[in-house]
Amino acid sequence: MYYTKTTIGSTTIETEINDESVFTRCPCCGREMRVDLQELFAAGDFDLCGTTILCPACTQKEA
Q: CA of 57: how far to CAs of 26, 51, 52, 53, 63, in Å? A: 10, 18, 15, 12, 10
**What pLDDT was estimated at residue 46?**
82
Close Cβ partners of 18 (under 8 Å, ≥ 6 residues apart): none
Domain-wise residue ranges, the chain: 23-63
Closest CA to 36 of 25, 48, 22: 22
pTM for the full predicted model: 0.74
**What pLDDT was estimated at residue 43?**
82
Chain length of the chain? 63
| Binned average pLDDT, 10 residues per bin, the chain of 63 residues | 95 93 95 91 84 92 77
